[in-house]
């Protein structure tokens, strides 16, 4: 056992989890990773170049690859870690594995915090086996400390981002502390397409952390935080104002933000069911609250299902956003935003289809009947019945406009 590694594990200045990982690596003579309960890498030791492709990929992405994680799940490794304190040997049976693994749970009482992984050619001898077990107990304390520090930093950052988003007194100072400068900004709003009670908890929290990591790599002048159940990102944007600064900016910064958001969602996959709304780029003296409201309204449209994409710019969905706002205002006033078409919908769905087809065809019965695949005479009969149900003159342009708005609004509301 390496005596020089012992002080780092028993309370001498140990630095962070990476220092712990290096100390454990010296104790067991193997490259180490410390992972949380979701197989995200919290820290790793040196000597990773001595391992294999799955380990190198894990370290580079700070996350165990999905294919390798599936191999471990099928082998019952995670079930063992959840139930047992004893290390488990993982033979090198997965594709591209050249070394086996010895894994041990990191636990604080009954709480499973994660695991400690050593990449080795064969099971550890008894002395190093014991060293790994004892190290896991000490790592648990450091993981708890690390989590507490991370939570504190996250709370401070969330407070600063919330201050910026509110545009209240102190927003300028908060922007400076977040490294956003005082120029043009844009807000992104991250959420789940079908939000549940867990959205404000683990699921969206992890997605927000992942977005922060992604932006840290591709757009460093940004700040990300989970605020009131939405993952917000505030990004400093270089906007071209003249030919002198054209090399340092893009002619369409919002399109660039869209590409960044799409790349992030492509990386996390579709299982997360996440969507991102992007507000307009604003420049002082326009308040950042405008971009935040844009992003929130865009997120709302994405959740309604009206926009098929996972990412949308406010400029592309502002009409649907206005319709949703119209419905909300009507409901707040105790009014029914679908009062004209509701009698039609309650009678039969094909009456709604008849009305919609007739309006879309500008009153051309042969064209409208073909669109809904019925005989023109059948269509005319249904149209007469629709006239009775709506109780308004369909020859009146204002009445037709009101019906068209309500039909489009009904599609938005039905998909929410």
Element (H, E) at 165: helix 126-166
Give the C-alpha separation, 408 to 95, whole Å: 52
DSSP 8-state class, residue 392: S
Q: Domain range spanning residue 31?
A: 14-150
What is the pTM assigned to this prediction?
A: 0.61
**412: confidence class by pLDDT, cuts 50, 70, 90:** low
- Looking at the structure, tell me whether residues 43 and 19 fall in a common domain: yes
Is residue 154's pLDDT more than 60? yes
- Looking at the structure, tell me whether residues 213 and 261 fall in a common domain: yes
User: For residues 64 and 38, is the Cβ–Cβ distance under 8 A?
Assistant: no
Closest CA to 30 of 53, 42, 52, 46: 46
Per-residue burial over 215-243, b = 16 or more CB atoms within 10 Å of its CB, e = otherwise:
beeeeebbbbbbbeebbbbbbbbbeeeee
% of the chain surpassing 90 pLDDT: 41
Give the C-alpha separation, 278 to 293, whole Å: 10
Residue with tokens 């056992």: 1
> What is the predicted pLDDT for the residue at 414?
56
Is 268 buried (19+), middle (13-18) or exposed (0-12) by CB count in 10 A?
A: middle
Mean pLDDT of the chain: 84
Please check whether residue 82 lies inside any domain of the structure. yes
Structure tokens at 165: 């988003």
- Looking at the structure, tell me whether residues 208 and 313 fall in a common domain: yes
Q: Which of 130-139, 290-299, 405-414 has the lowest average pLDDT?
A: 405-414
Q: In this predicted model, what pLDDT tens digit does every residue of 315-339 receive, in sequence order?
A: 988 888 887 777 777 777 776 767 7
Give the C-alpha separation, 266 to 276, whole Å: 12
Within 29-106, where are the H helices? Answer: 53-61, 66-74, 77-83
User: For residues 322 and 302, is the Cβ–Cβ distance under 8 A?
Assistant: no
Is residue 215's pLDDT more than 50? yes
Q: In this predicted model, what pLDDT tens digit does every residue of 294-320 receive, in sequence order?
A: 999 999 889 887 667 899 999 988 888
**Which CATH number covers residue 257?**
3.30.70.270
> What is the predicted pLDDT for the residue at 342?
82
**Which CATH number covers residue 410?**
1.10.10.2840
Higher-confidence residue of 403 and 195: namely 403
**249: confidence class by pLDDT, cuts 50, 70, 90:** low
How many domains does the chain divide into? 3
DSSP 31-47: -EEEEETTSBEEEE-S-
User: For residues 223 and 213, is the Cβ–Cβ distance under 8 A?
Assistant: no
Q: In this predicted model, what pLDDT tens digit does every residue of 29-80 receive, in sequence order?
A: 999 999 988 888 989 999 999 999 999 999 988 888 888 888 998 899 999 9
Instruction: Mark which of 102, 131, 150 sits at the end of a domain.
Output: 150
Is residue 181's pLDDT more than 90? no
**240: confidence class by pLDDT, cuts 50, 70, 90:** low
């Amino acid at each position: 056992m390496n005596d020089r590694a012992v002080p780092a594990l028993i309370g001498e200045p140990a630095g962070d989890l990476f220092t712990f990982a290096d100390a454990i690596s010296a104790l067991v003579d193997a490259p180490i990773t410390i992972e949380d309960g979701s197989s995200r890498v919290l820290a790793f030791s040196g000597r990773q170049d001595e391992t294999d492709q799955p380990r190198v990929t894990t370290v580079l992405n700070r996350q165990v690859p999905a294919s390798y994680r599936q191999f471990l799940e099928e082998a019952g490794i995670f079930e063992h870690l959840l139930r047992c304190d004893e290390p488990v040997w993982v033979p090198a049976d997965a594709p591209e594995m050249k070394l086996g693994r010895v894994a041990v749970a990191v636990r604080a009482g009954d709480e499973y915090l994660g695991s400690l992984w050593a990449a080795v050619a064969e099971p550890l001898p008894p002395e190093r086996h014991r060293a790994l077990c004892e190290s896991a107990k000490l790592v648990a304390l450091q993981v708890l400390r690390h989590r507490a520090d991370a939570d504190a930093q996250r709370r401070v950052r969330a407070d600063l981002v919330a201050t910026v988003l509110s545009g209240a007194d102190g927003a300028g100072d908060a922007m400076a502390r977040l490294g956003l400068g005082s120029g043009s900004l844009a807000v992104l709003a991250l959420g789940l397409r079908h939000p549940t009670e867990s959205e404000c908890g683990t699921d969206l929290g992890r997605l927000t952390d992942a977005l922060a990591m992604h932006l840290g790599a591709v757009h460093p002048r940004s700040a990300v935080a989970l605020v009131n159940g939405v993952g917000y990102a505030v990004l400093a944007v270089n906007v071209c104002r003249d030919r002198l600064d054209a090399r340092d900016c893009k002619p369409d910064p919002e399109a660039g933000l869209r590409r960044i958001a799409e790349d992030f969602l492509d990386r996390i996959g579709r299982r997360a069911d996440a969507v991102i709304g992007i507000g307009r780029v604003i420049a002082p003296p326009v308040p950042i609250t405008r971009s935040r409201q844009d992003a929130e309204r865009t997120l709302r449209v994405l959740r309604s299902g009206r926009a098929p994409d996972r990412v949308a710019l406010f400029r592309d969905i502002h009409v649907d956003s206005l319709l949703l706002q119209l419905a909300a205002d009507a409901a707040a006033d105790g009014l029914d935003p679908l009062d004209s078409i509701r009698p039609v919908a309650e009678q039969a769905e094909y009456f709604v289809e008849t009305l919609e087809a007739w309006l879309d065809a500008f009153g051309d019965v042969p064209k409208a009947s073909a669109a809904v695949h019925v005989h023109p005479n059948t269509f005319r009969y249904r149209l007469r019945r629709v006239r009775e149900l709506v109780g308004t003159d369909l020859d009146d342009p204002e009445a037709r406009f009101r019906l068209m708005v309500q039909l489009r609004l009904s599609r938005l509301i039905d998909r929410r």
